[in-house]
Amino acid sequence: MNSKFLTMVVAALVVVAVAALPATAGAGKATKVSVGNGFYGPSDVTVKKNVKVRWSWEGGFELHDVTVKSGPARFHSPTQAAGTYAHKFAKPGKYVLYCTQHEGMTMKVTVKKR
């Protein structure tokens, strides 16, 4: 294996590992989530009550949305291929979200009281 190839592999693994880490946001901050073809990144988010999560579509051609599968409150974003959507989580608890266009595309949001 040449060193350039090995460097590229290691860099790709670091990007994947960082994307898999849960994101955390405190009061007054927003957490950003990328929406891509078949994924939300990060897929596990923890925020405090009344914090916004902002989903940003990564310019693909596939339609995606953000819909609550289970949780203390319900919401559904527009189905779109580009743009952004934000939701302020006012009720603490665990939310499981999914894309109605792609059954296996899921994520979790944990909302803490403080």
pLDDT band with cut points at 50, 70 and 90 for residue 113: very high
Is it the case that residue 29 has pLDDT exceeding 50? yes
Which segment of 22-26, 67-71, 76-80, 95-99 scores lowest on mean pLDDT? 22-26
36: CATH: 2.60.40.420
| Contact status, residue 90 vs residue 50, Cβ threshold 8 Å | yes
How would you classify the pairing of strands 44-48 and 23-25? parallel
Structure confidence by residue, pLDDT tens digits, 85-111 = 999 999 999 999 999 999 899 999 999
Domain membership of residue 44 as a residue range: 23-112
| Contact status, residue 97 vs residue 69, Cβ threshold 8 Å | yes
Is it the case that residue 5 has pLDDT exceeding 70? no
Q: One-letter amino acid identity for 26? A: G
Domain count, the chain: 1
The residue ranking higher by pLDDT, 81 or 22, is: 81
Structure confidence by residue, pLDDT tens digits, 9-20 = 333 333 333 344
In a domain, 7, yes or no: no
Is it the case that residue 112 has pLDDT exceeding 70? yes
**CB-based contacts of 46, cutoff 8 Å, min separation 6:** 22, 23, 24, 25, 109, 110, 111, 112
In a domain, 55, yes or no: yes
Mean pLDDT, rounded, of the chain: 82
pTM, full prediction: 0.74
Is it the case that residue 26 has pLDDT exceeding 50? no
